[in-house]
Structure 1
């Protein structure tokens, strides 16, 4: 998993509330266990018509937001089923940060496990950032994980809270496997000791 420290990127506004995981990545695309290749189907039913053509009015189809790395979303983002494919699809598209007033718990946890940063801010601050995102590609936001700040394009700064352990994992690029490998020496020592104590195992 890549380390997450700072990000300066384009933010796309998605003010819809209750965007669920089936909207993020419809169930028809859940046949794969690979984390790559899902970005093309992100928000598929909102992004394409029945013939597979892009819907020009959808935010991520607009030229200003095709390279968006930040999503400013409405309340209760990621609700619905527990599918981990939802953060996989967002990450594969290039989204590294989602800002909202609230997230569904399972989606929120899955973001951290996949190197994404979900940021919870009060409604009035999300509204400011939503309007900032509506300015298009020239309005870049800055995310500083170490300082726990979001800086709008006009320089206004908002502070966000994050669990210290999750912050550490993102800063160091540690997923569950990485955390286990950090304990490699201790695991080797235990296995050697256990092998001597119980050679019949």
Structure 2
């Protein structure tokens, strides 16, 4: 029988809805402390998440000396900003240019630089992405809405347990004069994987 009241969770994508349902069940059974859960979420969204990586990118855009350090020794440069820890011990920064677009994948598992990007998106761990990103990177990028000229080379980097990559996207046009905080707001998680581009200022 049809009903006219809206499901408050019907706007969630399937994965988020499942996570919400699991969290509710575990909380009701007393297996999870909601305050502890909130703190974990806060850590990954605010302290060990894409906002950290965005700060790294923004600083590289704004400070040429830092960009050079990042290219030379990403682990040390990122560590100097306090972003270290799990899966952030061995980092390499790869810079997008007018000639090259970089894309990161982990073909064997889902190695991912948690210290600067937080938790990996579901698609990053999927077998389809892990195989197709290597075999047909342009097609994968197109599905993410990134269309590149044929002249631009696509370079795919395969993360391992020993080395993880951070893509430094190209600084968007119209961002001159912005503060580092304003620049960081233009950096998306996908752009630091290479599956997206930095946002253009409004």
The two structures have a TM-score, normalised by structure 2, of 0.26
Structure (1/2) with the larger strand percentage: 1
Which one scores higher on RCO, CA 8 angstroms, separation ≥ 6?
Answer: 1
Structure (1/2) with the larger helix percentage: 2
The two structures have a TM-score, normalised by structure 1, of 0.26
